Amino acid sequence: MSKFIEPSMEHIRNEKLYAEMGLTDDEYGRVVEILERDPNYTETGIFSVMWSEHCSYKHSKPFLKQFPSEGAHVLMGPGEGAGAVDIGDGQAAVFKVESHNHPSAVEPYQGAATGVGGIIRDIVSIGARPIGLLNSLRFGELSGANNRRLLRGVTAGIGGYGNSIGIPTVSGEVEFDPSYDGNPLVNAMCVGVMEHDKIQKGTARGAGNKVIYAGLKTGRDGIHGATFASEELNEASESRRPSVQIGDPFTGKKLMDATLAAIDQPELVGIQDMGAAGLTSSSSEMAAKGESGMTLYLDRVPLREDGISPYEMMLSETQERMLLVVEEGSEQKFLDLFEDHGLDAAVIGEVTGSDRLCLYYEEDLYADIPVQPLSEEAPVYILEGQQPAPDDKIYEYSRADLNQVFDALSGHPTHGSKDYIYEQFDAQVGANTVQKPGFGSGIVRVEGTDKAVAAALDGKSRYVYADPYNGGKEVVAQTFRSIISTGAKPLGMTDCLNYGSPENPEIYHQLSESTRGMAEACTALSAPVVSGNVSLYNENRTDSILPSPVIGMVGLIEDVNFMDGLTINSKDAVYLVGATTKSFAGSQIEKLLDNETSRQLRYIDLETEYSRGMYLRGKLTAREIKKIAPLGRGGIAMKLAQLASFHHLGLDVEIDLDGEDLFAENASRYIVIAQPGMDIQDAVEIGRLSDDGFTIKARDVTIERTLAAVTEAWEGAIPKCMTSVD
């Protein structure tokens, strides 16, 4: 008999132990119907993690179905560890973004590090070698000591893992807002490149084929991590926090190399990362996709310590692990391969012709569950959203001291240089990085070719709060603008949907309307969704975070050599492309002066967005313009300050707008740098670059600074906060 004694089925039901695991009464009843009996303790835990929001998307699945997932370049869409798009010559770009928000709130270093490690393994499990990392980060204001602690820990964790494993961090974005106080958002994206014919899927098929465990030995870290990520962070949840997963980038590097070698073997049937819910999700999902069953012998699982129960083995989220299915008779070949890379590996089970996931430990049966209901039939909840009444606020900033507004915004961490963060990341490892983090998308050359992959990751939370439907469109559009600004053609996108509790009707409305807008923008901008992630129940101490969908997009530069010598210089002309309207809902000037975000309509024309973006892209690749800089947070004034500071060039601009319009944040606008007198569609020449000085003249205000002063504010925005006494 096994030495593991589990609570009785009667005790599980009567004491409602299932509720502590995250199942509702109705969900537990559904489990009983599926099994035609009460589940035992291990089975209850397995259902609880597989039916958690983090694994099953039970509140968001109806909205995800809106997204277009097919297109001329799509090779593999949602449903696998990552998506893949064609980049020509038989090659594919593989990419995905995922969140690690709750773990980063608990332990920022390891939370961020394991987030990076997990997204890398998702890419590697498809068969791609990673070429670049990106991150989208949200923190509370840096005036708070805890937010400074979180920033330090998260950035150290991202750098500690990514630098050690040898993958460059090539782009990202960071925002600071009180909404994220105590609940940071840590979204990590990875991009890889591979050959079409090596694309793998997480599938278990072929009765008798063997199941191989590879990687770190299993410990007790992260048990019920998927459930924890599916509930609000509050005082009541403190006691239920799982032990935090620990990343090991050096083992991660060995596992990456070994996995890519294993994928070259013809006997490999399927492979999947052991991510959220660990061995439970990987085994059940692989069996479900292969329409097979699977039997696992848990006494064969490599363990870090004695006494780990079958329940703990199945729910552990120990990092740096892969699950493989290989053809019967070839298992020794794979065991030897992993051993040669210094990794533990063991045959722990086999594929069966049944529809059951059966778990044994020393001949005792610990679970017997039908695969399809466990993996594919989690409950889906369609709730009632509630649209809040729009605000009738009238924006009037003409009487404000706009010079003070400029100084306050240009010195705020959201608008300032992110070098404090990026200098902790290696952006050049691999020697193929063409454009590093700091100003725009990352660009990485495809080794051995003239092609390059451009990648961007962006979000506009305040816009989504102000107007969920149109704000959702703008999130996609902003990332599209970043991609075309490199000269790349957008090929596809991935999304990470970060929101508060969907059980709050207003949050549910945000989720519903913003995804509707995002889906429309994906279609209009020819950017199908190939992968993604959902993170709900993100709450600060008093309320929900701002709705924060983040979009990652990948594009192709067919000949990166067009960029050679394409630099901006003193005497170049500055152009404003697109009309400016008094759009202040969700703007940074509203946040600064009014300390709120009003619910008011925003406007975006997706047809104009696409045609203008592709037109400017063509001008750039033809070398008729030198630089495209999309406008975003803080409007014209902030973009000019960032442009001057980043390139160490002064400027003298005169623009026929009211002063307050320098801070308006309406869609579809760009700053473009080109030779004077160029004919650029929908553009007005507004000034010149210079060697020194910084002047913006509007109808009723002049902002005049030295270039040194503007640069000092930009460069010091984050460091000045981080040197505050904690």
Question: Confidence band (pLDDT; 50, 70, 90) for 243?
Answer: low
pLDDT digits (tens, 9 = 90+) for 63-82: 999 999 999 999 999 989 99
pLDDT digits (tens, 9 = 90+) for 308-336: 999 999 999 999 999 999 999 999 999 99
Tokens of residue 90, six digits: 């038989």
Tell me, what's the pLDDT at 726?
58
Mean pLDDT, residues 21-41 = 94
Amino acid of residue 204? A
Mean pLDDT, residues 372-380 = 88
pLDDT digits (tens, 9 = 90+) for 464-497: 999 999 999 999 999 999 999 999 999 999 999 9
Angle at 488 between CA 484 and CA 493, to 5 degrees: 80
Check if the beta carbon of residue 74 is closer than 8 Å to that of residue 85.
yes
Chain centroid to CA 477:
16
Mapping DSSP onto H, E and C, the string for 508-521 reads HHHHHHHHHHHHHH
Residue whose entry in the numeric block shows the structure tokens 């950035």? 155
**CB atoms inside a 10 Å sphere around CB 700:** 11
**CB atoms inside a 10 Å sphere around CB 305:** 9
Tell me, what's the pLDDT at 228?
47
- Whether 239 has a pLDDT exceeding 50, the answer reads no
Residue 100: active-site member: yes
> Which listed residue (100, 102, 224, 341) is catalytic?
100
Chain centroid to CA 499:
13
pTM of this structure = 0.94
- Percentage of the chain beyond pLDDT 70 is 96
476 vs 483: CA distance, rounded Å = 11
Residue 11: active-site member: no
Q: Give the 3-state secondary structure of residue 307.
A: coil
Q: Give 154: exposed, middle or buried? Use CB within 10 Å, 0-12, 13-18, 19+.
A: buried
Q: Give the 3-state secondary structure of residue 361.
A: strand
- Percentage of the chain beyond pLDDT 90 is 87
Mean pLDDT, residues 505-512 = 96
β pairing state of 548-557 and 650-654: unpaired
For the residues of 79-146, what is the DSSP string, one character each?
TBSSEEEEEETTEEEEEEEEE-HHHHHH-HHHHHHHHHHHHHHHHHHHTPEEEEEEEEEEE--TTSHH
Check if the beta carbon of residue 270 is closer than 8 Å to that of residue 325.
yes
pLDDT digits (tens, 9 = 90+) for 645-669: 999 999 999 999 999 999 999 999 9
Q: Per-residue b/e over 563-594, b at no fewer than 16 CB within 10 Å?
A: beeeebeeebbbbbbbebeebbbbbbbbbbbe
Mean pLDDT, residues 51-60 = 89
Tell me, what's the pLDDT at 237?
47
**Which residues sit opposite 351 in a β-bridge?**
294
Question: Confidence band (pLDDT; 50, 70, 90) for 437?
Answer: confident
Domain boundaries, the chain: 9-50
Tell me, what's the pLDDT at 215?
96
Tell me, what's the pLDDT at 627?
97
- Whether 705 has a pLDDT exceeding 80, the answer reads yes
Tell me, what's the pLDDT at 238?
47
- Whether 233 has a pLDDT exceeding 60, the answer reads no
Tell me, what's the pLDDT at 541?
80
pLDDT digits (tens, 9 = 90+) for 403-433: 999 999 999 999 999 999 999 998 888 779 8
